[in-house]
Amino acid sequence: MPRFSVSSIKLILLVALFITVAGNQVLFFKLTDRLDLLTLQGGGYAITLFSIIFLILVLIQLIFGVRYLLKPVMIFLLLVSASLSYFSQQLGVIFDVDMVRNVVETIKDNNKQEATELLSPPLIKHVLIYGVLPSILVLFAKVSFKPFFKESFRRIAAFLGVAAVVVALVMMNFKYTTYFSRENRDLRVYITPLYAIDSIKGYIRSERAKIKVPLTVLGKDAKQQKVSKQRTVGIMVVGETARGDHFSLNGYSRETNPKLKNEAIINYQNVSSCGTSTAFSVPCMFSFLNREDYSPSKAALQSNSLDVLVKAGVEVIWLDNNSSCKGVCERIGEINLRKNPDEKSAYYSEGEVFDEALIGKMDALLKENNNNKDILFVLHTLGSHGPKYYKRYPDEFSQFEPACKKATPQSCTDTENINAYDNTILYTDYVLSQTIAFLKAQQDSQSFMLYASDHGESLGENGVYLHGLPYFLAPSAQTHVPMLIWLSDDYISAQSLNVEQLKQQQTSKNISHDNLSHSLLGAFNVKSRVYKQEYDLLKSN
C-alpha cells in the first residue's frame, strides 16, 4: 500500500470523526427512538452530543498522541471501539464496570473456553472492517509533525477551535440539552468507547481501594446449636444464567421441569438476582451485604457466609464446573472440574464436562469425609451459560428442536435460540433431581438442597442477547431468577418445620439473593450477630 502524507492534526480529526460515526450507531438509533431529529431541538441535541464525543476523542489523542505514541493510541482506540460496537450493535451488551470485572475475571481464571466462544466469525469480520482496516491506513500514513512549540501551539489551537464549536452548539440549545440529558442519563452507556474507558477507570479505582483495607472478620461469635444428633448434609447449587420465567414450575408454558414437579420442593416464583453477571452476583449470593449496599470490592473485604459456617464448625467444600468461585471460596479452597477435565468421564464432551459430573465428585468426597461432621457442598454449575447453549446438555436432552448450534445467537432465529436455551433448563431440572436422589440415599443424615441461579439471560428480546446489562437497564429476563429448596423428611422432623406454612408464606413473597446467606446459616442452626432471622427462608415468621 503506497504511503500518503497527512498532518498530525488532520489525522487526529479524521480518526475521531470515524470512531464517533462508526462506533456509535446504537447511540444514534436510541436517539431516533426518543427524539424527532427533524426538529431544531431534536436534531440540535443529536449534533451537540456527537460533537461532544468527537471533542473528547480529539482531546485524548492530542494529550496522549505525541510523536511516537500517536499511531499506537489511534490503533488502540480504533480496535477497542470496533470490538465494543460489535457487542453493542449485535448483542446489546454494555461494557460497564461489572462487564470490565467479568473480562478481568475471565483472564484471571484463564477461562479460554468462555473467551473462544465469544470469538466468532461475525466479530472478526466486524473488527476487521471497523478496526483493522482503518488501523492499516493509520500505519501507512506518513504523519508530519511541526517542531515542538509549533506542534504544541497547533494542538492547543485545534482543541480550542473544536471546543468553541461544541460550546456554541450547547449554548444555542442549552435548555433542551440539559433537560434531555438529565432525563435520559441511561444513554451514556452507549457512548463508544468513552463509557467503557470510564468503566475501566472505575474498576481500577475499586481494586486499588481493596488493597488499602484489611479483611473485616464477621461471625467471630458464630456457634452451631444442633437440634439433632444426625449429620446434616447440605447442598447449595449455584445455577448459571437460568431465567425464572423459563421454569415451568413458575408457569412457563413448556414443560421444562418434568422431574422437579414430582419432588416435594418449596419453589420461589418471585426472586430477584443481585446482579446480571457471574462476577458480580456470585460473591453477592454469599455476602451479608444487601444488594443496595453491595459491591464486589466491599464483599471481598469481609467474611462471607461460607467463612462463618466454617467458623461454626461446618465443613464446606466448593465444587466448580464453571470459571471459578469469584473469590467466595478464597479462604476454603475449591475443586474445579473444568481446569483438568477427565476425558474418560462419561460426562466429558469437547473439553469440558456436563454438570452431572459434580454429583459423582460429591459422592466420592462424602465417602472420604465420613466423620459425621456437618457438611455443605457448594456446586457451581455451568447451567445455561451462553452463547453456545447447545454445548451445555447431552444429546438426549435435545427435546426442543430445531436448536441454535452457533456461537452467535443473533444469527439464529428466536425459536432456535429459545429451543437451545430451554434444553439447558430441561437438563438443569434433571441435574437437580439427581442431586435430590443423591441426598435421599444418605439415609443416616438429614439433608437439604438450596438452588438459586446467579442471573438470567436475554434471548433476543428488543435486540438484546446474553446478559450483563447495567441493573438499571436490565430487563427482567436478566434479573428474575429461579430459586427452590428441597428438604429431607428427617430434616423437616428434626427442625420441626411446617412445610405447608413455609410454602404459603414464602412462595408468594418477593425475595432475592439477600436471603441466601442467612438461610444457609439457619439451615445449619448457626447463631451469630450477622444472622438475620427475617431473611431466613426456613423461618415461617
Grid cell of 31 as nine digits? 436517539
Alpha-carbon distances, residue 464 vs 99, 117, 186, 253 (angstroms): 15, 18, 16, 22
The cell numbers describing 263, all together, are: 419432588
Query: Exposure of 155 by Cβ count < 10 A (0-12 exposed, 13-18 middle, 19+ buried)?
Result: buried
Q: What's the pLDDT at 526?
A: 97
Start-end of CATH 3.40.720.10 domains in the chain: 223-535
CA 525 to chain centre: 32
Identify whether the C-beta of residue 130 lies closer than 8 Å to the C-beta of residue 83: no
What is the grid cell recorded at 190? 452507549
pLDDT for the residue 1: 54
Amino acid at 18: F
Would you call the peptide bond into 387 cis, given omega within 30 degrees of 0 as the criterion? yes
Task: Give residue 365's pLDDT.
Answer: 92
Q: Given this model, what pLDDT does residue 149 score?
A: 86
Rounded CA-CA distance 335/261 in Å is: 31
Q: How far is CA 479 from CA 8, 118, 273, 529, in A?
A: 47, 22, 5, 29
Grid cell for residue 520: 444457609
Cell of 492: 423437616
Q: How far apart are CA 305 and CA 521, in angstroms?
A: 7
Question: Which residues of the chain fall below pLDDT 70?
Answer: 1-3, 506-508, 540-541
| Cβ–Cβ under 8 Å, residues 306 and 323 | no
Look up residue 44 and give its three cell numbers. 440540535
Residue 142 CB burial class (10 angstroms; 0-12, 13-18, ≥19): exposed
Q: Half-sphere exposure of residue 220, counting CA atoms within 13 Å on the CB side?
A: 3
Residue listed under C-alpha cell 444418605: 442
Containing 178, the helix (H) or strand (E) segment is helix 174-183
| Helices vs. strands in the chain: H and E counts, helices first | 20, 17
Which H or E run contains 426?
helix 414-440
Buried-state track 362-382, b at ≥16 Cβ within 10 A, e below 16: beeebeeeeeeebbbbbbbbb
Backbone φ and ψ for 493, nearest 5 degrees, come out as -65, -45
User: Whole-model pTM?
Assistant: 0.90
Find out whether 4 and 141 touch, Cβ atoms under 8 Å.
yes
User: Residue 155 is placed in which grid cell?
Assistant: 494542538
Answer for the pair 478, 276: CB distance below 8 angstroms, yes or no.
yes
pLDDT at residue number 540: 61
| C-alpha distances in Å from residue 140, one per residue of 2, 75, 236 | 7, 12, 57
3-state secondary structure of 406: coil
Query: pLDDT at position 541, please?
Result: 54
What's the pLDDT at 344?
A: 85
Close Cβ partners of 538 (under 8 Å, ≥ 6 residues apart): 485, 495, 497, 502, 519, 522, 523
pLDDT score of 362: 94
374 Cβ partners below 8 Å, 6+ apart?
224, 226, 231, 232, 233, 234, 313, 314, 315, 524
What local confidence, expressed as pLDDT, does residue 2 receive?
60
3-state secondary structure 479-536: HECCEEEEECHHHHHHHCCCHHHHHHHHCCCCEEHHHHHHHHHHHCCEECCCCCHHHC
Please measure the distance between the N-terminal and C-terminal CA atoms of the chain and give it in whole angstroms.
76
Closest CA to 525 of 221, 224, 222: 224
The CATH homologous superfamily of the domain defined by 223-535:
Alkaline Phosphatase, subunit A (3.40.720.10)
